[in-house]
Chain A
Amino acid sequence: MRVEFFLLMAALLFTIGCVGVLVRRNAIVILMCIELMLNAVNLTFAAFAHENQSMAGHVFVFFVMTVAAAEAAVGLAIVIALFRRRRTTDVEDASLMRW
């Protein structure tokens, strides 16, 4: 398995996640797309770690996962707060502050 496949796959996932963030309206879905992006990066790290025979990449993956978990927790809390107050999870509704 050439490393390029993994990298390509990761890039693809990253792009999908990116597009998802740009296009989708539901806050939770956007959150999931961000997680997708982060996991794509994790894949990249793992691939490079394997190619360079270095542990650093694997360690980084753990860190990213931890941070992503913390971020997700906070993010969900914010979405819940939004829902409680505005009864919507549509980010297009969260546009009171503009210009």
Chain B
Amino acid sequence: MMLRLLWLIPLLPFAGFLLNGLLGARYLTRRAVALVACAAVLASFAISVGAVLELHNFAPTPAETDAGSPARFTQTLFEWMPMGTTPEGADLTVRWGYSLDPLSAVMILVVTGIGFLIHVYSIGYMEHEPRAGFARFFSYLNLFMGMMLTLVLGASLPVVFVGWEGVGLCSYLLIGFWYDRMFDETTKMSCADAGRKAFITNRIGDVGFLLGMLLLFTAAGTLDIQAILARAGALGTGVCTAAALLLFLGACGKSAQIPLYVWLPDAMAGPTPVSALIHAATMVTAGVYVTCRMAPLYVQAPAAMLSVTVVGALTALFAAIIGTAQDDIKKVLAYSTVSQLGYMMLAAGVGAFSASIFHLMTHAFFKALLFLGAGSVIHAMSGEQNIWRMGGLRRHLPLTHATFAVAVLAIAGIPPFAGFFSKDAILAGVLALAGQAGSPALLAVWAAGVLTAGLTAFYMTRLYLLVFAGVPRMPEEARHHLHESPPVMTRPLIVLALGAAVAGFVGVPEFLGGGSLPNWLQVYLSGTVPSFHPDSGVIYLSEWSAMAIALLVSVAGIAAAWAMYGRRPLPAPAAAAEARGFVRLIKEKFFVDEAIDALVLAPYRWLCRASAAFDEKVVDGLVNAAAAATDLASQLLRLVQTGYVAGYAFAFFLGTVVVLFFVMR
């Protein structure tokens, strides 16, 4: 049965990685490379679908049914690190196993499904790459898929961590894919530098993840996820809070929350399919996934939940503000991603975990669609990414335009597209918790969320208008190059657009659907993540009013963008250096990178230089002295081996005498 093949799901992309990686550059044709890579992911997707369907029929044991736990299938592959047992008898052995339950089911379907579409798209996007690079790209892409699936399916924290580190590595490899190119002329950042920035920022978060993992191991005596969660109640609030915060630090790194988000905009140095897959649909969601997975732990630690809420809300708003003034099509989308990730974290922070996953799912659809559409545009514009030099593309790129428009409506939260339902679920959750706690502060958070929705609608509409609407602003020669992308690129766009359109209907909230349209997703995930049933408390706003307000704000955002950018003449594009005041602040992304450089990195570099000097003189001095002493000892001792048998025999004899002396004492 399919569930037994669970282990194949991460393994097939690995096999693709090995095949393309070792043989692709020299021995395989482009077609073969593409076929191997896409087939691997498609096969994983097929097995995922089969496994998920079977999971539905998978009856848990009677004991589990009583406890109300959901269907879960765990497959232990082997004992990875036999560590024996503690004196108390707890089993310390670390096992390599995969586990499928509704939460990971949603994730693997999203990862493999959207991953497959992006793989297909990449065939067209990367066709101008020389064959070696083409093979390298697809092998990295497959490696990433394997690592991401390992992360999502891992049944114990070390397995998840392997996937966690693995996707970080792939992110680095793929961002710096064109390692010999410059990314940003003004800051002199090369693509390789961008990759390094991503890796190092992630690393800081990873320290948190590792420490959290170790803390949980020490406190709970096991690294198996379900075992840890079962014991979450017994661990005590202090341990839970510390562990939750540490894990959240890791999640901030991966999911680009404040203050570890700075790598994501620069990650746009990578090829656009990479941005779509890794930095929109999958890797960045790993932090959200882990937070939801460890939710029972977070539930025990209200302080941690509050931190998550605040960070998520701040990130959402902050990134949205920056996004309104960006001029590079991919940068706008990057900040948008940061902002939407903030939404997901916000939902998790207030306890609405299924809403968080819901938004993760819908965001995967429309953000991937947006990025792929942007890729289509960049492809048509022969590499131009500045939106002020685009315009009027709706005539030249009809399919791209249509799908992009669907995505914009989805992300802006316009019904009946997906984003409307998922964003509404989040905001409703915040409002409900605000009501339950009777806290005006949380009401402010809700207001921030609504404001962010408005800003999102604004900058996305701005993007749409400047790229597709109006008259073309590009030079004459470029206009001749404009052409719609080939079907291998547009067909995935269409599929994603369909998803962005209808995916929202799996999570229609109760009050809207009446009794006939249940909130499927919430029901599906119930039991896997803690349920969210806030008591009535204070009712600040009825659900209808809240939804209406949010919708109105979104429409207002669209209208404002229309007013500013939809009519001619367009405002002059203010270059970052010339803009003044608040606009300058936004354009320059609040000078965050520069601030980090001055406040954090510069003293750090000084410390590095001082440490290096100390290391060279003192530490190396000691080590070299020890090495020299050992070497001297070696040169001296070797002389004992004289080459004369008599000498050897004599040494033997002496040794015998000594041993006998000591034995017979």
A contact residues, range? 10 to 19
From residue A94, how far is it (CB to closest CB) to chain B in Å? 7
Q: Report if B545 contacts A (CB, 8 A).
A: no
* Docked-complex contact B650 and A92, CB < 8 angstroms: no
* Docked-complex contact B650 and A98, CB < 8 angstroms: no
A91 cross-chain contacts in B, Cβ below 8 A: 644-646
From residue A12, how far is it (CB to closest CB) to chain B in Å? 16
A80 cross-chain contacts in B, Cβ below 8 A: none
Determine the distance from Cα of A65 to Cα of B526 in the docked complex, in whole angstroms: 85
B641 cross-chain contacts in A, Cβ below 8 A: 98-99
Q: List B614-665 residues whose CB lies under 8 Å from chain A.
A: 638-639, 641-646, 649-650, 653
B643 cross-chain contacts in A, Cβ below 8 A: 95-99
Determine the distance from Cα of A98 to Cα of B647 in the docked complex, in whole angstroms: 11
Determine the distance from Cα of A41 to Cα of B644 in the docked complex, in whole angstroms: 26
Q: List A35-79 residues whose CB lies under 8 Å from chain B.
A: none
From residue B652, how far is it (CB to closest CB) to chain A in Å? 9
From residue B153, how far is it (CB to closest CB) to chain A in Å? 58
Residue count of chain B within 8 Å CB distance of chain A: 11
Main SS class of interface, A: loop
B649 cross-chain contacts in A, Cβ below 8 A: 21-22
Closest residue on chain B to residue A24 by CB atoms: B646
Q: Report if A1 contacts B (CB, 8 A).
A: no
B642 cross-chain contacts in A, Cβ below 8 A: 95, 98-99
Closest residue on chain B to residue A97 by CB atoms: B643
From residue A92, how far is it (CB to closest CB) to chain B in Å? 6
B653 cross-chain contacts in A, Cβ below 8 A: 18, 22
Contact with B along A10-41 (1 / 0, CB 8 A): 00000000100111010000100000000000
Determine the distance from Cα of A95 to Cα of B642 in the docked complex, in whole angstroms: 8
From residue A56, how far is it (CB to closest CB) to chain B in Å? 24
B645 cross-chain contacts in A, Cβ below 8 A: 30, 91, 94-95
Closest residue on chain A to residue B635 by CB atoms: A99
A99 cross-chain contacts in B, Cβ below 8 A: 638-639, 641-643
* Docked-complex contact B646 and A92, CB < 8 angstroms: yes
Closest residue on chain B to residue A18 by CB atoms: B653
Closest residue on chain B to residue A94 by CB atoms: B645
Closest residue on chain B to residue A25 by CB atoms: B646
From residue B158, how far is it (CB to closest CB) to chain A in Å? 48
Determine the distance from Cα of A92 to Cα of B645 in the docked complex, in whole angstroms: 7
| Contacting residue for B644 out of A18, A21, A30, A92, CB 8 A | A92
Determine the distance from Cα of A86 to Cα of B641 in the docked complex, in whole angstroms: 22
